[in-house]
Structure 1
Amino acid sequence: MRVAINLLTDDPDHPSGAHWFWTRVIPEMAAHLTEDEELHLLVSRRSRAMHQGYGPGVHYVTFPWSNERRNLRTLSEHLYAPVRLPLKGIDVFNTLIAPMVKPAPALVAHFKTMHAFTAPEAISPAARLYRRIGYPRTAAVADAIIINSESLRSEVEKHLDVDPAKLRLIPEAVDHELFRPGDPARARQRLAERYGVDGPFVLFVSSLWPYKNCDGLLRAFAIAKPDLAGHRLVVVGPGRDTAYVSSLHALAEELGIADDVVWVGGVPLEETVHFYRAADVFVYPSHNETFGLTILEAMACGCPVVTSDCSAMPETAGGAAFLADPDDPRAIGAAILRACEGGEDLRTRGMARAAQFTWAQTAKSTLEVYREVHSNRKAQR
C-alpha cells in the first residue's frame, strides 16, 4: 500500500498548525509501517526541508509549489495530482480538498475545521469561497473523512451533505516531550527576562481572531480584577486580524485595564511551555473550536484551565476544566477566580486528562483508516 499525503497547503515561511500536526504524526506512522507499506509526501522544493528524517518508509513526490504560491499550488493540486499520483502507483491519497478530476487512488479527506461556514471572518474571501465549493464535493467523493471531535462531526453533518458512515473520529494529541510540568519559578524568571512578564498572571494563548473571544476575556478580567490580588492578563498570540487587535487595545483602555494587560504577540511554540508553567490559570473562552489543542497543552504543563461550555471545548476538557458561557463575562470572571483560588485539583485532573492524548495513538488510528479504504478498494476490483 502506497499512501500519498498532501503537505502542499503549508507555507514554508509561515508554518501552520497543520505542519505541527504532520511532523508529529508522520514519524509515528512510519514506525508502524509494514514491509509492503510506504508513505509518499507531496512537497515542493522549498517545503521538502520541513519534512526530513522520517525513516526509510517515507518518500517524496515533488510539486512545483506549496502555499508560498497559493494560487499556483491550488492549480497544481487539481491538474498535476490526478496524473502524477497514478504514475507513482499511489493507492490512497490523503488531502483536504479533492482535485476536480478525482485521482485513481482511494481518497481520504482530512477535515480539521468548518471555519469557512462557522467562522468566515477568519478566512480570506477567496479561501472561504474555495472551501465552500470544495468541501461539499470532497465529502461526496471521499472514501473516508477524518475528523478530530464529535463537535466537528456535528458541523460537518450540518453544513455538508455527507454519508455519516464515511466519518472517522481521530482526536489530535499533545507532544508530551515538549508540554509537561516544570519548575514554575524558573519559568517565571525566563518570562521576566525575555518578555518582561513578572508577577502572577492569567494567560490567554491564541491567534487573535474575533471568534477566539479575547474581547470577552478582557471584560471578564476587568470584572474579576478587584479580587485577583495583583494579577495581570498576558495575551500570547499573533494579531491575525489587525482591525480586531486595534479594537482589543481600545477596549482595554475603555475598561481601565490597559496597564494590566501584557500583549506579548506571537512566540515560538516551544516558548509557550514557559507561559503555561508560570500562569495561575489558562483561559480559553472561544466561541468555536473543533478540538481546542491549547486546552490540552496547558493541562499537560500542569496549568489549571477555564474554557467555554460550548462547541468542542467541553469534549476536549473532559471534566478537567472549569466551564463558562463565552457570552457571559461575569461567568468567565467567576470561573477565573475559582481556578486561582483552588486550582490544585484542576492541575491534577488536567494532567491526567492530557495524558490520554498521544500522537502515537493518533498516528495508529490514521494508518488504520488508510488500510481500511485500501482494503475496501481492493475488494471492489
Structure 2
Amino acid sequence: MSFTIDFRSNNLLIDELLKQESISKPKKSSFVDKLFVKKKEYAYIYFHTGTLDNEATEKIKNAKLVIVNSLLAQKEVLSKLNIEKEKVQVIYPAINMEYKKPKEVKEQFCNKHQIDSKKKIIFFTGKNLKSSGVIEFINITMQLTMPDIFMIIAGDSKQIYNLKFQLSKFNLEEKLLLLEDYSDTNELFLASDIFLLPTHNKSFATNVLKAMFCKCVVFTTANNAAKELIDVFSTMENPSDRSIQFKLEAILQNKEDMKLIKKQNRKVAKEYSLENQLQKFNALLETL
C-alpha cells in the first residue's frame, strides 16, 4: 500500500520516509485543476508542527493520521479541533548523530581554543539566540560563583556579531567563548558538560535531545515541549527562573550526580534515534 504525507517543516524523519517507494507527497493542484474546481487532494498523513492556523486545521481534518512531535502539541490539537484522539499520534523528533567519547572530544576542543580542559563547560546555542534565551543564559551563568567553569555560545555570524557588541562593556574573555557559524555543532555538544537552554519558544527544541545524546546535563524551560523528556530537577519554571543558579552549582559540585545524570540522559536520547523513530512510524502504518 502507498501513502502520501504532507508537512509544513521538514525534518530527519520526513526526509528518510520520502526515500521509501511507498511514500510520496501529494500532487499540487495545477492551474487547470483550479480552473475546473477539481477536488483538492489531501495527504493521507499530515505532520503538524508550529501554529494551528486555518491551513493546518484544514490539512489535519482531511488527513487519516496526524503526527505531532510532543504531547503538548497533541493536547493543543485535540482541545481546539473536534477529532478523535487515536487520529493524532506523537512521534518525538529523531536524531542522527555520530557519538564519540566526550572526554576525548573535550580535550581536543579545549587544546584548539586554549581552554583549561579541567573546567566544566556550559553550552548554549539556538536558531534564534534571543528567543532561545541568550540574555537569560548570560545572566544566569555570570552569577555562578564556581571558579572552574567556562561558557560557550554558538550562533550565526550576524547574531554573534550583535552579541559581541552588547557584551563589549563586560570583561568576559576568560569566561566566555563566542563561536560564529561553527561548522560542527555536534563537537560542541560532545565537548560540553551542561547544556542550558532558558528558551521562550514552545516548539520542541531538538538541541535538547542532541545534548542528552552527547552526555550533557540539560536544563530547559517548562514552556518548551522538550521538557517532556527531562526530569523535574532539570526543568526551569521560566527563562529567568532564579532557582536554576542553585541547581547548576549543586550539580557542578557533585561529580557523581553529574555523571549519573549524563548517563541517564544519553540512555533516554538513544531511544529517539532515526532508526527507532522510523520503526515507530512504520508500526503506526501497519495499524491503518
Question: What is the alpha-carbon distance in structure 2 between the residues aligned to residue 209 and residue 162 of structure 1?
Answer: 36
Number of aligned pairs?
278
Q: Which residue of the partner structure matches residue 313 of structure 1?
A: 226
CA shift digits 1:271-295 (9 cap, x unpaired): 2222122212111222334433222
| Cα offset, 1:189, TM superposition | 1.7
Question: What is the alpha-carbon distance in structure 1 between the residues aligned to residue 149 and residue 176 of structure 2?
Answer: 10
* TM alignment of 1:220-239, pairs within 5 A: 220-224=140-144, 227-238=145-156
Which residue identity is paired with 1:207?
K
Q: Which residue of the partner structure matches residue 177 of structure 2?
A: 262
* TM alignment of 1:90-101, pairs within 5 A: 101=39
CA distance 1:110–1:325, shift in 2 (3 Å): same
| Cα offset, 1:219, TM superposition | 1.0
Equivalent of residue 108 in structure 2, options 189, 199, 213: 189
* TM alignment of 1:46-57, pairs within 5 A: none
- Does residue 20 (structure 1) correspond to residue 3 (structure 2)? The answer is no
Which residue identity is paired with 1:327?
P
Equivalent of residue 141 in structure 1, options 18, 37, 62: 62
Q: TM-score, normalised by structure 2?
A: 0.79
Equivalent of residue 213 in structure 1, options 123, 129, 133: 133
Q: Which residue of the partner structure matches residue 73 of structure 1?
A: none
Q: Which residue of the partner structure matches residue 3 of structure 2?
A: 3
CA RMSD in angstroms comes to 3.4
Equivalent of residue 45 in structure 2, options 91, 108, 116: 108
| Cα offset, 1:360, TM superposition | 2.7
Which residue identity is paired with 2:12?
W
Equivalent of residue 285 in structure 1, options 195, 198, 214: 198
Question: Could you tell me whether the CA contact under 8 Å between 1:216 and 1:326 is conserved in 2?
Answer: no
> Unaligned regions of 5+ residues in structure 1, if any?
11-17, 31-37, 43-60, 62-75, 84-99, 118-131, 374-381
Question: Could you tell me whether the CA contact under 8 Å between 1:219 and 1:255 is conserved in 2?
Answer: no
Q: Which residue of the partner structure matches residue 367 of structure 1?
A: 282
Structure showing the higher helix proportion among its residues: 1
Question: What is the alpha-carbon distance in structure 1 between the residues aligned to residue 78 and residue 248 of structure 2?
Answer: 34
Q: Which residue of the partner structure matches residue 326 of structure 1?
A: 238
Question: What is the alpha-carbon distance in structure 2 between the residues aligned to residue 255 and residue 323 of structure 1?
Answer: 29
Question: Could you tell me whether the CA contact under 8 Å between 2:3 and 2:44 is conserved in 1?
Answer: no
Q: Which residue of the partner structure matches residue 153 of structure 1?
A: 74
Question: What is the alpha-carbon distance in structure 1 between the residues aligned to residue 43 and residue 12 of structure 2?
Answer: 25
Q: Which residue of the partner structure matches residue 115 of structure 2?
A: 198
Q: Which residue of the partner structure matches residue 357 of structure 1?
A: 272
- What SS is found at the alignment partner of 2:271? coil
- Does residue 174 (structure 1) correspond to residue 89 (structure 2)? The answer is no
- What SS is found at the alignment partner of 1:302? coil
Which residue identity is paired with 1:184?
K
CA shift digits 1:125-173 (9 cap, x unpaired): xxxxxxx331122222222210111011133345x43414321112223
CA distance 1:101–1:79, shift in 2 (3 Å): farther
Question: Could you tell me whether the CA contact under 8 Å between 2:4 and 2:23 is conserved in 1?
Answer: yes
| Cα offset, 1:315, TM superposition | 0.7
Question: What is the alpha-carbon distance in structure 2 between the residues aligned to residue 191 and residue 79 of structure 1?
Answer: 56
**Identity across aligned pairs (percent)?**
14
CA distance 1:292–1:168, shift in 2 (3 Å): same
> Unaligned regions of 5+ residues in structure 2, if any?
none
Which residue identity is paired with 1:39?
S
Question: What is the alpha-carbon distance in structure 1 between the residues aligned to residue 134 and residue 77 of structure 2?
Answer: 26
Question: Could you tell me whether the CA contact under 8 Å between 1:139 and 1:161 is conserved in 2?
Answer: no
- Does residue 335 (structure 1) correspond to residue 247 (structure 2)? The answer is yes
- What SS is found at the alignment partner of 1:328? coil
Question: What is the alpha-carbon distance in structure 1 between the residues aligned to residue 189 and residue 221 of structure 2?
Answer: 18
Which residue identity is paired with 2:40?
K
Question: Could you tell me whether the CA contact under 8 Å between 2:6 and 2:46 is conserved in 1?
Answer: no
| Cα offset, 1:4, TM superposition | 3.5
CA distance 1:40–1:280, shift in 2 (3 Å): closer
Question: Could you tell me whether the CA contact under 8 Å between 1:284 and 1:306 is conserved in 2?
Answer: yes
